[in-house]
Amino acid sequence: MARVILDHISKHFGSVDAVKDFHLTVEDKEFVILVGPSGCGKSTVIRMIAGLEEPTAGTISIGDRDVSDLPPKDRDIAMVFQEYALYPHMTVYNNMAFGLQLRGFSRKEIDQRVREAAEILGIEELLQRRPKQLSGGQRQRVAVGRAIVRKPAVFLFDEPLSNLDAKLRVQMRMELSKLHDRLQATIVYVTHDQVEAMTMGTKIVVMKDGFIHQIGAPLSIYNAPVNHFVAGFIGSPIMNFIPCRIISRNGRIWLDFGDFQFSVPEGRIAGNGLLVGTDVIFGIRPNDIHELSAAPDRLTQHAFRAVIEVVEPLGSEIHLYVKAGKHSLVARIEAETPVRVHQEIELVFDLERMHIFAKEPPQQRLGTGAH
């Protein structure tokens, strides 16, 4: 396997800047996920690594080679697409073998590689079937198998699970994670699904409008998002955001939400007194809002009243959509909590895990309680 270095690459399509000064190092054996909304440039990045698009600026290295000007076939990569791209008239075996046949491998070597990949993916019994006889999940395994037989330096996945139903996506996420562990492969994976990013990647690259907004381990990004966009994109249900003002009272820093006020735990806002009078955005994740009777004693001073608008029972937990004054919030509470629509409920914020963001772009984080 190999390290991949994207050295300040950019890509312009006419007047459109699809990727802007993108710099990233993918270490050997890392599972790196590019995640972001549609149109953020993530697929353009992976296509540039593959050689399907040429960078407007910057260089791309795989291993110790600058591959910026090399065609795809000479880059030692294998790519798995969203559409599977299987030959309908060929058996599974021949679909997996075809690329090796074109490269002149011996029949013995081809057979060994195909059967080894089939064993890894659990599709040995499917080798003589044709694509139309396979389920969506089986087709995706064949597409992955076609990549495995090449034994590339780098695997590239471009939204490979988008065409699968919810249950199959969960299953394939697990299988791809196990595959990475077994092969110890270098993988670059593109998705718009933050759940895939959080559960599969060893490192996440969050993108928007062609730029990298944050790079880090999944839990690091979840707990300490650098700005309002990353905080809202990573995490499900999404983080709650409430505009407020930083004020000072009796020598302490408070947050004024209009309908209610809370004192801020010591040291949780960068600059503290320098920001008094500043309008900011308060962020709190749904799992950091508790029903008062079930909250730890340390949180009870931060209680507020809200009216339940929607109840979503999910078996292991309940999502509550509530109205607190003029503010709409989502809280995640214990499944056994007795609640109903239109009920007034007392909730409490865990301000040790709050986030504060600047109101003006780029809306960077000013403070956090997350660890």
The fold of the 4-233 domain, in CATH, is: Rossmann fold (3.40.50)
pLDDT band of residue 294 (cuts 50, 70, 90) is: confident
Torsion sign over Cα 205, 52, 196, 39: positive
Q: How confident is the model at residue 270 (pLDDT cuts 50, 70, 90)?
A: low
For 59-72, what is the mean pLDDT?
95
CB 284 within 8 A of CB 353: yes
Question: pLDDT over 90 for what percent of the chain?
Answer: 73
State pLDDT tens for residues 115-148: 999 999 989 999 999 999 999 889 989 999 999 9
Q: Is pLDDT at 81 greater than 90 in this prediction?
A: no
Whether 4-233 shares its CATH topology with 240-368 is answered: no
pLDDT at 150 over 80: yes
* Eight-class DSSP state of 272: G
Tokens representing residue 77 in the block: 């990569």
How much is the pLDDT for 273? 52
Q: Does 246 score more than 70 pLDDT?
A: yes
Lowest mean pLDDT among 173-182, 249-258, 289-298: 289-298
Which CATH superfamily includes the segment(s) 240-368? Nucleic acid-binding proteins (2.40.50.140)
| pLDDT greater than 70 at residue 370 | no
Q: What integer pLDDT is reported at residue 369 of this predicted model? A: 54
Q: What value does the mean pLDDT take over residues 180-197?
A: 93
Residues 304-309 have a mean pLDDT of 95
The residue type found at 241 is F
pLDDT reading at 179 higher than 50: yes
Q: How confident is the model at residue 333, as a pLDDT? A: 92
Distance separating alpha carbons of residues 269 and 210, to the nearest angstrom: 30
DSSP 192-230: S-HHHHHHH-SEEEEEETTEEEEEE-HHHHHHS-SBHHH
Question: Is residue 1 over pLDDT 70?
Answer: no
DSSP state of 288: G
pLDDT of residue 272: 47
| DSSP letters spanning 169-181 | HHHHHHHHHHHHH
Over residues 7-15, the mean pLDDT reads 96
Residue 86 or 368, more confident: 86
Res. 359 pLDDT band, cuts 50 70 90: confident
Q: For residues 221 and 84, which has the higher predicted lDDT (pLDDT)?
A: 221
Name the residue among 99, 132, 130, 128 with its Cα closest to residue 113.
Answer: 99
- Higher pLDDT, residue 183 or 268: 183
The pTM of the full predicted model, rounded to 2 decimals, is 0.90
DSSP state of 56: S
Cα-atom radius of gyration of the chain, to the nearest Å?
Answer: 25
Per-residue pLDDT band at 41 (split at 50, 70, 90): very high
End-to-end CA distance of the chain: 34
Please provide the average confidence, as pLDDT, over all residues in the chain: 91
pLDDT of residue 317: 94
The full set of domain ranges for the chain reads: 4-233, 240-368
Q: What is the pLDDT of residue 98?
A: 95
User: What per-residue confidence (pLDDT) applies to 171?
Assistant: 87
The pLDDT of residue 371 is 47
Confidence check: pLDDT of 286 > 80? yes
Query: What whole-number percentage of the chain has pLDDT above 70?
Result: 97
Looking at residue 69, its pLDDT comes to 94
pLDDT at 362: 79
pLDDT of residue 201 exceeding 80, the answer is yes
